[in-house]
Amino acid sequence: MTTHKRNKTKTQGAKNKSAVPAVTPTRTTPSKRKKPVPHPRRPRAQGRHRQPATFDPLPESDAFLVKEDLRQEVVKYRRQLEIIRQASLRMTTELSLDQILNGLVVTAKEFFNADAVSCMHWDDSKSKLIIKAGIGFKTDYTHKRVIPAQRLKPIIDSGYDHFYLENIQLTAKEDVQLIHAEQLVSELTIFLRYGQEMLGAINIYSRGRIRHFTQEEMENAHFFAQQAAIAVRNANLYKEMKEEAQIAKTLLQVAEEVGALNSLDDVTTRLMIILHRSLKVKIGMIFLWNQGKKLYLPSKAVGLPPHRSPLFQTLILRQEDVNFTEEELSLREVICAQKEPGRFPIEKIANVLLERDLYFVPLVTKGKLLGAIAVAGYQGKQDFNHKDEVFLRGIAAEAAIAIDDASLFEALEGAFWDIIKSLAAAIEVKDSYTHSHSESVINYATAIAQELKLVDTEIDLLNKACLLHDLGKIGIDDSILQKVAPLTFYERKNIERHPVIGSQILQSVGSLADVAIIVRHHHEKYDGSGYPDRLAGENIPRLARILAVADSFDAMTSDRPYRKALNLEQAVEELKTCSGRQFDPELVEIFLRVLQRKKVKWGLALPPAT
Residues 551-590 as x/- pattern, contact with Fe ion by CB under 5 A: ----------------------------------------
Kindly tell me which of 398 and 470 has the beta carbon lying closer to Fe ion.
470
User: Closest Cα to residue 258, out of 273, 245, 243?
Assistant: 273
Report how many residues bind Fe ion under the rule CB under 5 A. Answer: 1
Kindly tell me which of 180 and 492 has the beta carbon lying closer to Fe ion.
492
Residues 590 to 609 in contact with Fe ion, rule: CB under 5 A? none
User: Which amino acid does the sequence have at 150?
Assistant: Q
Kindly tell me which of 202 and 476 has the beta carbon lying closer to Fe ion.
476
Identify the sign of the CA torsion 580, 582, 584, 587: negative
Kindly tell me which of 470 and 554 has the beta carbon lying closer to Fe ion.
470
Report yes or no: 283 and 311 within 8 Å, Cβ to Cβ: no
User: Which amino acid does the sequence have at 29?
Assistant: T
- Shortest separation between residue 453's beta carbon and Fe ion, angstroms: 27
Kindly tell me which of 470 and 584 has the beta carbon lying closer to Fe ion.
470
Tell me which H or E stretch contains 352: helix 346-353
- Cα–Cα distance measured from residue 192 to residue 225, given in angstroms and rounded to the nearest whole number: 6
Kindly tell me which of 222 and 520 has the beta carbon lying closer to Fe ion.
520
Kindly tell me which of 58 and 555 has the beta carbon lying closer to Fe ion.
555
3-class secondary structure per residue, 150-196: HHHHHHHHHCCCEEEECCHHHCCCCCHHHHHHHCEEEEEEEEEEECC
Kindly tell me which of 308 and 497 has the beta carbon lying closer to Fe ion.
497
Q: Return the half-sphere exposure (C-beta side, CA atoms, 13 A cut-off) of residue 432.
A: 5
Kindly tell me which of 300 and 523 has the beta carbon lying closer to Fe ion.
523
524 binds Fe ion (CB under 5 A): no
Identify the sign of the CA torsion 597, 526, 452, 511: negative
Kindly tell me which of 161 and 470 has the beta carbon lying closer to Fe ion.
470
User: Closest Cα to residue 103, out of 235, 216, 237, 241?
Assistant: 235
Residues 462-491 as x/- pattern, contact with Fe ion by CB under 5 A: --------x---------------------
- Shortest separation between residue 498's beta carbon and Fe ion, angstroms: 6
User: Closest Cα to residue 100, out of 108, 92, 91, 109?
Assistant: 91
User: Closest Cα to residue 111, out of 10, 215, 17, 204?
Assistant: 204
In order, the DSSP letters of 475-540 are GS-HHHHT--SPPPHHHHHHHTTHHHHHHHHHHTSGGGHHHHHHHHTTT--TTS--SSS---GGGS
Residues 373 to 432 in contact with Fe ion, rule: CB under 5 A? none
- Shortest separation between residue 530's beta carbon and Fe ion, angstroms: 11
- Shortest separation between residue 551's beta carbon and Fe ion, angstroms: 6
Q: Which residues pair with 598 in a beta bridge?
A: none
- Cα–Cα distance measured from residue 397 to residue 598, given in angstroms and rounded to the nearest whole number: 52
3-class secondary structure per residue, 242-285: HHHHHHHHHHHHHHHHHHCCCCHHHHHHHHHHHHHHHHCEEEEE
- Cα–Cα distance measured from residue 202 to residue 118, given in angstroms and rounded to the nearest whole number: 6
Residues 137 to 166 in contact with Fe ion, rule: CB under 5 A? none
Kindly tell me which of 82 and 514 has the beta carbon lying closer to Fe ion.
514
- Shortest separation between residue 586's beta carbon and Fe ion, angstroms: 22
Q: In Å, what is the CA distance from 453 to each residue of 72, 420, 586?
A: 90, 28, 14
- Rounded to the nearest angstrom, the gap between the alpha carbon of residue 357 and the centroid of all alpha carbons in its chain is 20
- Shortest separation between residue 531's beta carbon and Fe ion, angstroms: 10
Report yes or no: 319 and 295 within 8 Å, Cβ to Cβ: yes
Kindly tell me which of 110 and 514 has the beta carbon lying closer to Fe ion.
514
- Shortest separation between residue 523's beta carbon and Fe ion, angstroms: 6
- Shortest separation between residue 519's beta carbon and Fe ion, angstroms: 8
- Shortest separation between residue 466's beta carbon and Fe ion, angstroms: 11
Q: Please report, in angstroms and rounded to a whole number, the separation of the first and last CA atoms in the chain.
A: 103
Kindly tell me which of 115 and 470 has the beta carbon lying closer to Fe ion.
470
Report yes or no: 424 and 471 within 8 Å, Cβ to Cβ: yes
Residues 35 to 94 in contact with Fe ion, rule: CB under 5 A? none
- Shortest separation between residue 469's beta carbon and Fe ion, angstroms: 5
Which residue's C-beta sits nearest to Fe ion? 470
Q: What is the DSSP letter of 136?
A: S
- Shortest separation between residue 413's beta carbon and Fe ion, angstroms: 24
- Cα–Cα distance measured from residue 223 to residue 14, given in angstroms and rounded to the nearest whole number: 5
- Shortest separation between residue 522's beta carbon and Fe ion, angstroms: 6
Report yes or no: 55 and 82 within 8 Å, Cβ to Cβ: yes
In 366-440, beta strands by DSSP E: 368-378
- Shortest separation between residue 439's beta carbon and Fe ion, angstroms: 15
> For binding to Fe ion (CB under 5 A), which residues are involved?
470
